[in-house]
Amino acid sequence: MLKLPNLNIGKISLLVAIMTWLALLFVDITRLFGKINQLDSSIAPEISYILQIIFFIMVYLFFHHSIQKSEKSNFLDLIWRGASTGLLATVVSLLISLFYYMLGDSRLASDPILKNVFYHIDFGFITLFLVSCTLLWKHLILYQKNKRIVNQWQGFEVGLLISMFFVFFNQNSLDYSFLFGLGVLVIFGISLSVNLKWIPYLTFKEKWKSILYLVVILISSSYLFIQILSYSSSLTPYLNLTDNLFLLALFAFVFIYSLFSFLVTLFNLPTSSVFEQKLVEAINFQRLSQSIKPGQNENQVLDILMDSCMSAAYVDAAWMEILDVKGNRNVIHQRFIGNKERKELQKLIEETKPFSDFIWDSKLNDSKTFIGKLTDFKYKSAMIIPLVIHKKTLGKIYLVKEVKDGFNKEMTNIIATFVGQACISVENYRLLNEALKNERYKEELQIAQRVQRSLLPSKLHHDDSFQIHGFSEAADEVGGDYYETQALGEGKYAIIIGDVSGKGTSAAFNMSQMKGVFHSLVQLNPSPSEFLIKANSALSHCLERNHFITTSYYVLDTVAQEITYSRAGHCPTLFFKAKENASEYLSIDGMGLGVLRSKLYEKYVHQKVVSYEPGDIMILFTDGIIEAKNQSGEEFGYERLKKSVNGSHELTASQIQQKIIEDMYEFIGSSSLPDDDYSLLVIKFLQKPQ
């Protein structure tokens, strides 16, 4: 299988260039030899021209390749390469001149063949220098390229290529067509030479260096040009290689671009510090706007902020004052000033207008700056910038300068921008931290909510003689409302409603204990008072010291049409008597479960019986309903609940429940959400089917 070797264009083109140059030298010397000895050598000058063109193209390819390889090198390196090649070509040329100078009037000095050899050497180095410089300039011209510049450059290259072949047309004589061609290429070169966008990116020091290199290039090219001119005037017997349109055009281009660069760099020197400053500000801005990474803290952002502000306004001393959680003022990031001096200066600043206008609690500190004069011995002007997050001032930066009126508009603007960005970064950081904390808390709450919801029954036990409808809504936090029913047999039903003190996860767990207690005790078919006594003694062992559960327990006997009930600290039950078309709260004494954790509790448990008739309604509820507040802080209260029931007694149990909740919502207003949970059980007694 044929395998193509990995071609190295750079090496090959260099090799071919050297070989072409040797061939050119050989051809020319042979021709010269023939001429001198009047032999009839038939070597046409076209052969030399072709070899010359191949040499040009190979050198062009070589440098094109080698510059592309060093794509990443900076401008200074590039210019240095041009300058060093220029120096080399000049030194070689000088050495040749020196050699002839030392030969004096000897015979060797006038030997045409030796002279021609040196001429070829000079020609080779000049070509190297011009081509390498041209390609370097290409790199600089195309630094910030757009389509137009690229097209222009390609046009220029085509022009150069054509100019190589021009030699066939006019044999390197300076006629009008030659001058026209040169004129076109020079104008082309000038139009390209205005692309000097790389210069502003040099630092002050780099600009000096590049000026030096450019001077070297300018001198080299001038010297070599003069050298060429001297050759062409004294070179009649040989083939003229250097009065070539291509070479002269390159001379013009290299010289013009170097001159332009030199002048522009020189005139850019005084303003370069401004550009550098802007660059630093842009980088600082970027650093500030990057949100704080994990593991870093606000302090690092404030540190960058201080550096940025100081360099933006060339201040002589600065410090930052930050309010901590307790509202104490702490000085951090103190720069170029001692503690004692700073304290005195701060006191002075705070007593001076306009700095004394600063108010910590003001909501209008955002994007405000305080700039003014100081009567201090050393520092003459000062600036204060508050750091504001969410209209809250969390600190301020003090900047002081030794000159009067040291803060101009640009400085103030850029500092205000820095401060704004830093505050956003700090705020984002705080929000993120808060969000993470909340996320964990929310997860915990969700678990608790799931537990709580699973504790409420999905189905309530009843028969045809009464309707029962339950409703429970937890506020954003987990609550501890609880209700449940159980069929006891023989038309008897146990009903319980309760409210666990506290909120959150602990409430949900206490509620699940209550549910356990209910399901255990209901098996024993206890009377309401027995239930409460036993539940109290059971819960006394598991409730935390400051927790209690309020509950009401009912045994509904549909045969006797009566309800036996006991109350343990829970809100009284509302009972609507259809016959009287009025409702009353069932009054009975009682005490919350867990309030008194001893035998003494029994003393406080009471039990009552109430009989009912069809159409009567019983409303069991938790205190969330009564305590629901409207915007002016007024509670929904017992009377409004009563009214709500009286007005809806003809409806079904579920409709009554909806009506009560609607009334309550209407009362509290949609804007304020209740901060408690509220539960409701509506029981409506019906005519017993015969």
Partner 1 sequence: MLKIETTHDSNFTTLHLIGEVDASNSIELDEQITGLVESGAKKILVDGTKLEYISSAGLGVFMSYIEDFQENEISLVIYGLNERVYQVFRILGLDQLIKIKSDKEEALRV
Cα-Cα end-to-end distance for the chain: 106
Q: Specify the residue, 394 or 568, whose C-beta has the smaller distance to partner 1.
A: 568
Q: Specify the residue, 82 or 498, whose C-beta has the smaller distance to partner 1.
A: 498
Task: In angstroms, give the least distance from the CB of 563 to partner 1.
Answer: 20
Q: Specify the residue, 530 or 635, whose C-beta has the smaller distance to partner 1.
A: 635
Q: What whole-number distance in Å separates Cα of residue 244 and Cα of residue 506?
A: 97
Query: Contacting partner 1 (CB under 8 A), which of 34, 572, 614, 615?
Result: 572
Q: Could you say whether residue 570 binds partner 1 (CB under 8 A)?
A: yes
Locate all alpha helices (DSSP H) within 327-375, ordered by sequence: 339-351
Q: Which residue, 194, 192, 200, 190, is CA-closest to 75? A: 200
Reported residue count of the chain is 690
Indicate the pairing of strand 392-401 with strand 608-611: unpaired
Query: Contacting partner 1 (CB under 8 A), which of 425, 592, 649, 664?
Result: 592
CB within 8 A of 589, min separation 6: which ones?
567, 604, 606
The stretch among 291-299, 379-387, 499-507, 612-620 that binds partner 1 (CB under 8 A) is 499-507
Task: Quote the distance between the C-alpha of residue 395 and its chain's center.
Answer: 23
Helix/strand/coil for 314: coil
Amino acid at residue number 43: I
Q: Could you say whether residue 202 binds partner 1 (CB under 8 A)?
A: no
Q: Specify the residue, 584 or 623, whose C-beta has the smaller distance to partner 1.
A: 623
Query: Contacting partner 1 (CB under 8 A), which of 501, 536, 566, 657?
Result: 501
Q: Could you say whether residue 550 binds partner 1 (CB under 8 A)?
A: yes
Q: Could you say whether residue 622 binds partner 1 (CB under 8 A)?
A: no
Contact by Cβ (8 Å): 148, 155: no
SS (H, E, C) 105-172: CCCHHHCHHHHHHHHHHHHHHHHHHHHHHHHHHHHHHCCCCCHHHHHHHHHHHHHHHHHHHHHHHHCC
Q: Could you say whether residue 502 binds partner 1 (CB under 8 A)?
A: yes
The stretch among 55-63, 183-191, 311-319, 497-505 that binds partner 1 (CB under 8 A) is 497-505
Q: Which residue, 317, 235, 260, 241, is CA-closest to 141? A: 260
Task: In angstroms, give the least distance from the CB of 354 to partner 1.
Answer: 36
Task: In angstroms, give the least distance from the CB of 594 to partner 1.
Answer: 8
Q: Could you say whether residue 503 binds partner 1 (CB under 8 A)?
A: yes
Task: Quote the distance between the C-alpha of residue 177 and its chain's center.
Answer: 61
Q: Return the sign of the alpha-carbon dihedral for residues 132, 137, 139, 145.
A: negative
Count of residues binding partner 1 (CB under 8 A)? 26
Q: Could you say whether residue 545 binds partner 1 (CB under 8 A)?
A: yes
Q: Specify the residue, 461 or 629, whose C-beta has the smaller distance to partner 1.
A: 629
x/- map, 598-617, partner 1, by CB under 8 A: x-----x-------------
Question: What is the edge-to-edge ordering of all strands in the sheet holding 466-473?
Answer: 466-473, 678-685, 617-621, 574-577, 582-585
Q: Could you say whether residue 649 binds partner 1 (CB under 8 A)?
A: no
The stretch among 204-212, 232-240, 296-304, 591-599 that binds partner 1 (CB under 8 A) is 591-599
Helix/strand/coil for 485: strand
Residue 293 tokens, joined:
């990474």
CB within 8 A of 496, min separation 6: which ones?
482, 483, 484, 485, 518, 551, 552, 553, 554
Q: Specify the residue, 449 or 550, whose C-beta has the smaller distance to partner 1.
A: 550
Amino acid at residue number 63: F
Contact by Cβ (8 Å): 551, 598: no
The stretch among 44-52, 79-87, 194-202, 563-571 that binds partner 1 (CB under 8 A) is 563-571
Query: Contacting partner 1 (CB under 8 A), which of 86, 470, 569, 674?
Result: 569
The stretch among 213-221, 290-298, 375-383, 564-572 that binds partner 1 (CB under 8 A) is 564-572
Query: Contacting partner 1 (CB under 8 A), which of 161, 635, 659, 665?
Result: 635
Query: Contacting partner 1 (CB under 8 A), which of 88, 184, 196, 596?
Result: 596
Query: Contacting partner 1 (CB under 8 A), which of 82, 526, 590, 674?
Result: 590
Task: In angstroms, give the least distance from the CB of 607 to partner 1.
Answer: 15
Task: In angstroms, give the least distance from the CB of 531 to partner 1.
Answer: 16
Contacts with partner 1 by CB under 8 A lie at: 499, 501-503, 545-548, 550, 568-572, 589-592, 594-598, 604, 623, 635
